[in-house]
Every structure is written in C-alpha cells, then in structure tokens.
A and B are shown apart, each in its own frame.
Chain A
Amino acid sequence: MVNLLLLWTLAVPLAGAAIVAVLPDRTGRKLACYVALLTLGLAALPVMWRKAGMWLEMDWAWVPAFGLRMHLGVDGISYPLVLLTALLTVLCCGYTLWHTPEPGRGNVLSSLLLLIEAGILATFLAQDLVLFFIAFEVVLLPMAAVIAVWGGPARRRAALKFALYTLAGSVLLLVGVIAVVSLTGSGDMTRVPALSATAQMWIFGVFAFAFAVKSPLWPLHTWLPDAHTEAPTVGSVILAGVLLKMGTYGLIRVGMGLTPDAFRQAAPVLGVLAVCAIIVGSLVCLAQTELKRLIAYSSVGHMGFILLGIATGSTIGLQAALVGNIAHGVLTGLLFFLAGAIKDRSHTGQLTELGGLREQAPWLAGMIGFAALGSLGLPGLAGFWGEAFAIVAAWSRGGPLWTTLAIVAAIGGALAAAYLLRLLRKVSHGPLAPSLEGVHDARWPEVVAWVPLIILAVLLGLLPVLIIDPAAGAALISEAVGK
C-alpha cells in the first residue's frame, strides 16, 4: 500500500490536469487548487519513512516490450525538491485562481501547471532511465505552451527559443539513455552500470550537455532571459523555482550516478564553467535594464554556485547544492512573483520607468526588499548557506585550480549585492514614477501566495540542516516539542 504512495503522487496531478482542462474556467481553477493541495499532502508523506538510502521505492515492469519499468523512489536528495515542486504548484494555482493573465482561460493554464508538476515530480522520482527521460520531456511542451499563450509581447519567439534549446538538449539526453540501455541492458538508476571508461566519457558528455542546457550552465544560458522575461508570472515562478533544478538534479542523479569516473574527470571543466556563470551572470545583471531579465540573469549566477557545489563531487559540495537548489527555488520564485506583481501594475518592466514604489505600496516594496536581500546571500536567510558551502567545498578540494575557483566565486557572490541593491534603488527608492502612480499595494490573495515563501526563506536560513538532513531536522523538532 505504502509503495503506491509515489504512484499516487504522480497520478493525482495527472488526472487533475485532465479533468481541470475540460471544466468551466472558474470551477476548473478551483479544482486545480484542491488537486495541487492534495498532491502537496501526498508529496510530504514520505518523510515518515526516512532513513539512509532510498526511503520508499516501487518497481513494476510497465511496458516489458520496451524494457520500460515504473521504477519510482524517493530519498534525501529528491525529497526536498519534490516538496518544493508541490508547494510552488499550489501557490501558482492559487495565484491563477485570483488572477489569470491575458488571454484568460485559467482552467487551461491551471491544467498545464498540474501537467508540468506531474512531469517534474516524475523526473525527481524516476529510478529508471527511460522513465526519467520521458518525464523530463513531458515538462517541455506544456511549459512552452504556457509561455507561448500567456506570455508577454515577444512570447512566441521566446517559447520557440526555449523549445529549440531544450529540445537540442533532449536529443542528446536520448542518445545517452539509449547508449546506456543498449550497452548494459538496463536503465536502472539505483545501480552503477558497468561501462568502459571511453563509453562513460561519451555518455557523460551528452548527459552533461543536456543538463547544462536545462540548469542552465554558461554559455548555454541564453534561452533563459528571454523565456523568463516573456513568461507569465506563474510560468516564471515554476521555471526558475523548479524547472531549472531538473538540470542540476539530473547532473547529480544521472551524470554522477551512472558515469562517476567520467564525472570526476570532467569536474574541473564543470567547475570552471560554473564559476564563469557566476561572474558573467552577475556582471551582466549590473547592466540589465529590465526587471525580469535582471532576475533571470541572477538565476544564471545562482545556479552557477549550485553547479560548482556539484562539480566538487564531495559530500559537502552536494549538500551545498541541495540547499542551494531549494533556496534558489524559494527566493527566485518569490522574486518572480513580486516582479510579476509590479509589472502587472505598472505595465512596464523597464527599470528607468520605475521608482518610488516604497511610497506608493510599502508592503510590496518591503517584500521585494526582503526577497532581494535573501537573494544576495544575506546570512540568516536561505540563500547564504548553499553559496557559502559551495565555495568551502571547492576550497576543500585543494590545489591551485579549485582554490582559485573558490576565491573567484566568493567575489562573484559579492557582486550579487551590487545588482540587487541597484534593482531596489531603481524600483523602490527615489521619487514616485508616473507608471506607478495610484497603483494598489499587495492584495490578500497575493500575500497568501508569497508568505509561505517568505517563511521558508527565514526558516531555511536559520535551519539549513532541515534540507541536508531531514532526520536531524525531525530530531530537532521533537526535541523542541519535548521541551
């Protein structure tokens, strides 16, 4: 019975997506919220079975002819991401219930959100390579549709670019999957397959490319700013919040898990590219003139830290990546929610046309201030730990290369303060801009969507140990309750 839990976690949003799509607009949007909440409940349950290794696992021969197995599992690496996905979907469905962007038809949008959720959850839960690939692909189409239909003025171009880019990645992923399955006869991700060194090298190469596009790793990041700028608010939130994590997760689970030797050899290259992403992303942010574009580029920098942590291949680096993944999802999700709220009000994202929000909408300005501080890595908020320990992990590897990478990354991290404060000064401070005259402050439905993220940002800032070690977290809570 317990084993079916994971299947239910996927089936509920999938079935919900189908039903929601055919219901009337408002009813559909409401139902989508309930479905998302139910999924969140289901997704949270596995913590009750936590232990070292796989917490819960199920393995069925699904389509034996293709060797396709319904092999699902959850462990300490995937659980936080699963939970974050489910939470962000709830918030986005709730937000859509209150506000659907042009051209309306919120039930379809909600349905697509649930479909995306199912795909992402399946990616994080899959323990079979073929299943992983299918789940990875399922996400692509609905996400492109969300951008192409509900996006900004240049939405089609952005959606096309997103689709072409990730499709290119997918083709390579497919090559890798086929190679592994044909060479070893199995797509089981829980075991390291016996591959020759050369095969590992090639397979890791194509995997790394696919995941690098998704993460995105510099210099394969150029789809991201366009997609983010044009996507509707909920699209940006899901995109930044969890979709990018499919790349970093894939790198850990598939890249490192299936081709560990090649991963070790390629680690310096990955590390250098990750640090390039940090520096270039931050510097480019300094010259950005559009609100959502700036936040999108900041994602490139933040994901660079996560990739640096992974590249080190050490326990502490992976822990940092894990924390960084969640922190970035929470904080950038929040930033995109807020940027969307500002753009909806002012009808412009140009920084030069914004200003004085502090005066007109103090709560909204306060929250964007909070999100920016979190994002610039203020210790005590979620963003700090992942980045700090990615640097420690790099430094701990020793040698001139990794030491240099650590120092350069640390300097890049300091740059985040420069562009985020510039953002705050342009948006919140100064005299009131005409575009913001008479706009209303944060509304209740918005606040309801944002507050969980704010609470999480503080909680994870004070207790990052909750992500690294849910067991330690549980012990801590029971101790606190016991007192």
Chain B
Amino acid sequence: MLSNLWLLIAIPAASAAVLLLAGRKADRWGHWLGVLAPAASFVLGLIAFFGLRDLPGRAAEQTLWTFFKSGDMTIDFGLLFDPLTAVFVLLITGVGSLIHLYAVGYMAHDEGRRRFFGYFNLFVAAMLLLVLGNNYVMLYLGWEGVGLASYLLISFWYNRPSAATAGKKAFLMNRVGDAGFAIAIFLMLAQLGTVNYNQVFSQVGALTTGTVLVLGLLLLLGACGKSGQFPLQAWLPDAMEGPTPVSALIHAATMVTAGVYLIARSNPIFSANSTLQLIVVSVGALTLLMGCIIGAAKDDIKRVLAWSTVSQIGYMFLGVGLGGGAYALAIIHLLAHGFFKANMFLGAGSVMHGMQDQVDIRRFGGLAKYMKITWLTFMMGWLAIIGLPPLSGFFTKEPIIAAAFEQHDAWKSWVFGGAALLGAGLTAFYMTRLFVLTFHGPKRWTDGQHPHESPAVMWIPLVLLAIGSVVAGGLMASPVAKWLEPPLPAAPAEEVHGVLGHTAITVLSLVLTVLGAGLAWALFRRGTALEPQPAGPVVRAARANLYTDAFNEAVFEKPGSWLTRALVYVDNKGIDGVVNGLAALVGGGSGRLRRLQTGFVRSYALSMLAGGVLVLGALLAVRLG
C-alpha cells in the first residue's frame, strides 16, 4: 500500500467525478458509492498505517510526476506518508465514513443528494491531498480544494440567498488567509528555491530571523483563515448554512483543523523563532476565549457548536504555539475533538431532523424523553468536551492547560495558562447551557412538533462516535504522543517547573468546570425566555460577535466598495474619456466620426489599402536609399 499512496486520494476523487457527471441515472445508488469511497480509503489507510510501523524511518515518499521545472527548481506531485499524515488520514477517512453514512439518512429527502455526495467525496479527496503531500505546493492544492468543497457545500442549498452569501463569505475570508499562505510559498521559492518539506526545513537555519518571522506569520495567516482563528474567524459560524453533515465533517472534525496541521507540519519553522511562537500562542488564547464568550450568548444550536469549534481550535493553536512536546498534545486534542465534535454536530442534526429543522435552542426542551439515543450520545460529547474524567477531553485538554503553565517566563505562564483555565470553565458553562436547554427542562416547542428518534442509518454513526468520544482521549494520550515523534519534536528532557504544579492545575480546572456546568444547570434547568432579553454590555457584545463583523464591514468592505466605484469612474471618464476625445479629434469632430461609422468597413478597407501602399513605399525608400 505504501507504494500506491495515490489510491487513497484517487478513490474518492473518482467517485466524486462519477457522482457529479453521471446524471439522474445515478440517483438510486449514488449515495452508496459516496459512502463506499471514503470507507475504501479508510481500509487502505489502515493498511498503510500498519505498514508504516515496520518501516525503517517510518516515512514513505513517492513522486508521481513533475508539475513545474525551471533551472534547479522542481515542483513535484509528491506524496509523503509519515506518522503525522497517518493519524490525519485515519481521522479524515474514519470519521468521514461515519458522517457519510449518517448523511445517507439525513439527506434522504433532498433532491440533490447525489450532488451532495459528489461534493462530499471531492472534499475527502482534497483533504487527503492536503495531508498526503510532500511539499507546500501539494498542501496548497489540497488547501484550495477543501476550500472549494466547503464553498460548494455551504451554498449547497443555492436558492437560499443566505446560503449563497455564506458560501461566498467563507471562500473569500479563506482567500485572505490563502493569499498569506501563497505568499509564504512564493517566499520559499524565491529565497530557498524549493517547497519540499525536508529541503525547506533543512535550510531554515540559513534564513535571517526576520525572514523566518515573516514566513511564519504568513503561514499563520493562512492557518487562521482555514481554522477560523482571530482575526479571520467570522466565516465559520456563517458556514452553518450548509447541511449539518457538512458542519460535522468539514467545519468541525477535519477541514478547520488544517491550520493546526499546517503549523504542526511546519514545526521547524515555528520552533526557530520565539516571537513567532508567542504570536501563535496569543492567537490561540485570544480565540479560545472569544469563542467561549460568543458561544455562551448564541441561541442557534449549530452556531453554539460552531463557536465552540473556534474555541477548541484555539486550544490547539495554543498547543502548537507552545512548541516542544505541546505539538503532539495539540494533535491529540485535534483527534479527540474530531470525535466528540462530529458526534455533537450529528446529534444536533438528529435533533433538527426530529424538530422540522428548528435550530433555536429556546424552542427545544425536554427532548431527552423523545430521542433517547441522540440524548445519550450527545451527553457523551458534552461530557467529553467539558473535560470530565475519564472522557476524552480530560486527557487531551488538560495537558495543554498544564503545558501553558509550564513556560520559562512567569507572566506568560499566568497569562496563557490562566486563559486556558478560564476557557475550561466557560466551556463547561456554554456547553451545559446548550445541553440543558435542548434535552431537559420544560418543552418550549413551536406548534405541531412531533419529535422522534432518527433512523438507524443515522444513529449508528452517532453511537460509534459517542464511543469514540468516551474512550479516544484516554487510549490515545500517551501512545500517540510517542508515535508522532518524529516528525513532531519530542518533549524536552528537562522539566520546566511551572508556576503551578500538575495536581493544582488539574484540581483547579475540574473545580472551574464543575462551577461552570453547575451555574448553567441552575440557570437554565427551568428553561429560558423565548425572546432576546435586555442584557449588559458584555452579553450584547457577545451576541454581536464582539463587533468583529461590524469592524470588518467598516474597515474593509465599505472603503473597498468606494475604491472600486472610484476606479470604475476613473476608467470610464478618465482614461477612456481621453481616448474618446482623441478619437473625435482625429476623426475631425463628431460629424466626421458618424460618417466614418456608417461606411465603416468600406472606408476602413480603403484606409488599410492606403496604409499598405505607404508601408511598401516606405520600405522601398529604405531599400533604395
């Protein structure tokens, strides 16, 4: 398998092509083909994974063809399968297959189900390309590919204007980040003449500090765009316009974590500059708090989960920013998050399925009795994300908080450790609010609701993901950390003694978690008001996404549209006006111009002939003279 890695990508890509080109004939069986493709890649991925364990050096590389060649610079279609790629491949195809299966049921009544699976398979292929490449251009190929699939799937219900706009917003904000990433690639090509991971990393030492900083910041910009991190977080919650399986797979479990992959993959660049690491950590800490605060003020079940994703990825950024052994911690949290967040998104979809697409948590309540499986599986996800032992989140989030406290500078420990710790409490609060308002308390349904459990094709994936949410963290915590080094750096041998001990941090975070959850339970167990209530400035700001959208509009959109309009004016009146004036002048006034126009072809032919004679005459003169 390790010599045929391309099959991993080719299978879902081929399936996507079939689904999108086959036409209505394929409507009856298309979705099963769509499920089969990622499942097949999962099996092949497993084979490759086990093959890798026995391979000396634990990395398989192959080059399929050359894209571009100029002098010494060669850009190949090259693949790399190493421990970091392996865990991503398994996450993408494993969780991906379950979500595909779920979508068979979820999209059963949608006319466009075949098209949906076509796009969904396209996404899987692009995401695999992203993690399987052996150079930055390959990564960029997949990067743009997943962006495309995300755009297509967010605006899947294309006749909804809000969906089309959200799709566009997602693609454009991603493009801002992508421009940063692209410029980083251009910088590598211009300065190092290569984009191959190994060659770039081996030359990082030769670059100046400033160049490394710029390179890292550009990569970080790309990562922030894809992963919905500050300042490019605004698109992710809007992306919830797409069908729920899309939110689960793309906007929770896999695509949005590509930024974490990018930074982890580029760890030799990021580890080479401490300012850079400080910036990554700051982005992570800021975003994780933002996500918590905004998530606590939202009433749309999917948007709460979306902001929670923003916040959890903030933890991952915090991890990769801390560097050293924390790279692996971030990846492990990413894997565990893939399980529990996909589980909760699919659970939300199941709730919506039973409640006629209602998404407002103020309009739920008491659903535990009507949707037992969804309730239980969602509960596992909820307990996992708030970090209650012995569920996943406890084993994966806890170490990141601890690592944040173990820095050389005391102020950094307090600031970032404190943020991570505070985030844990807030997470417990807003997730408990979500859980209680949805499944417990009095019914606040709109008229004519008959909630019911979803069909087996939907709850089987839920159960499997719930099991993953319970056990994945505990099982993965230490073996995966070892498995990932190299390519990720090992934890330094000398222990840094943080400002707080391990036990203290664990106790503190558990106390905060219980406090947050308890507070939410007490506040919301009797339900909530159906209308937005007057609130203090913090809540109002949180409802308005901390005014980040308003900021973007005022600073980028408005001046942008003024600029474009001004340019059109200059183009039409300025440049073209001069030309038209000249034309009129040459033509001897407008009357002459009109006459020229009426007999246009004839007079043009004549002037052409005259011109020709002139040319020949001139040449003759030159020759003879």
Contacts and interface: CB of A to CB of B under 8 A. Distances in A.
Given A65-B620, A161-B583, A425-B168, A418 B175 contact: yes
Given A181-B619, A429-B159, 7 more contacts: A68-B619, A134-B615, A141-B604, A283-B563, A284-B571, A379-B141, A425-B164
A283 B564 contact: yes
Contacts of B20: 366
A90 to B, nearest CB: 24
A366 to B, nearest CB: 8
A69 interface: no
Interface of A: 65-68, 130, 133-134, 137, 140-141, 144-145, 148-149, 156-157, 159-161, 163-165, 170, 174, 178, 181-182, 219, 222-223, 280, 283-284, 286-288, 315-316, 319, 356, 358-359, 366, 373, 378-380, 385, 388-389, 391-392, 395-396, 398, 406-407, 410-411, 413-414, 417-418, 421-422, 425, 428-431, 462-465, 468-469, 472, 476
Contact of B175 (A133, A356, A358, A417): A417
Contacts of B564: 283-284, 286-287
Q: Which 7 A-B pairs have the closest CB atoms?
A: A395-B190, A414-B179, A429-B164, A222-B576, A287-B564, A316-B70, A286-B564
Contacts of A406: 183, 186, 190
Contact of A429 (B67, B155, B176, B623): B155
Interface string B571-609: 100011001100100100000010011001100110010
Of A66, A140, A178, A476, chain B has the most CB atoms within 10 Å of the CB of A66
B601 A182 contact: no
Given A287-B564, A379-B137, A395-B189, A425 B71 contact: no
Given A407-B183, A465-B68, A414 B141 contact: no
Interface in B148-196: 148, 151, 155, 158-159, 161, 164-165, 168, 171-172, 175-176, 178-179, 182-183, 185-187, 189-190
A67 B623 CA distance: 7
Interface in B112-166: 137, 140-141, 144-145, 148, 151, 155, 158-159, 161, 164-165
B592 to A, nearest CB: 12
Nearest to A410: B183
A396 B144 contact: no
Of A137, A417, A472, chain B has the most CB atoms within 10 Å of the CB of A417
B66 interface: yes
Contact of A141 (B187, B565, B608): B608
A160 B596 contact: yes
A83 B575 CA distance: 35
A50 to B, nearest CB: 16
B599 to A, nearest CB: 11
B179 A411 contact: yes
B565 A287 contact: yes
A396 B190 contact: yes
Given A417-B172, A465-B66, A316 B73 contact: yes
A178 B176 contact: no
Contacts of A411: 179
A160 B600 contact: yes
Contacts of A462: 65, 67, 77
Interface in B524-552: none
B512 to A, nearest CB: 42
B158 A429 contact: yes
24 contacts: A140-B608, A145-B601, A148-B600, A160-B583, A160-B597, A174-B618, A181-B619, A223-B579, A283-B567, A286-B561, A287-B567, A288-B568, A378-B148, A380-B141, A391-B186, A395-B190, A396-B189, A411-B179, A422-B168, A425-B164, A425-B168, A429-B155, A429-B158, A430-B159
Contacts of B615: 133-134, 174
A472 B623 CA distance: 44
Contacts of A68: 619
A422 B171 CA distance: 11
A280 B571 contact: yes
Contact of A465 (B69, B158, B189, B622): B69
Interface of B: 20, 65-71, 73, 77, 137, 140-141, 144-145, 148, 151, 155, 158-159, 161, 164-165, 168, 171-172, 175-176, 178-179, 182-183, 185-187, 189-190, 560-561, 563-565, 567-568, 571, 575-576, 579-580, 583, 586, 593, 596-597, 600-601, 604-605, 608, 611, 615-616, 618-620, 622-623, 625
Given A410-B186, A430-B159, A389 B620 contact: no
B405 to A, nearest CB: 39
Of A145, A181, A388, chain B has the most CB atoms within 10 Å of the CB of A388
B71 A66 contact: no
B68 A417 contact: no
B175 A414 contact: yes
A395 B187 contact: yes
A356 B601 CA distance: 40
A413 B140 contact: no
Contact of B600 (A159, A288, A463): A159
Contacts of B71: 315-316
B178 A380 contact: no
Nearest to B157: A429
Nearest to B576: A222
Nearest to A396: B190
Contact of B68 (A280, A389, A430): A389
Contacts of A140: 608
A161 B597 CA distance: 10
A222 B622 contact: no
B189 A392 contact: yes
A366 B178 CA distance: 24
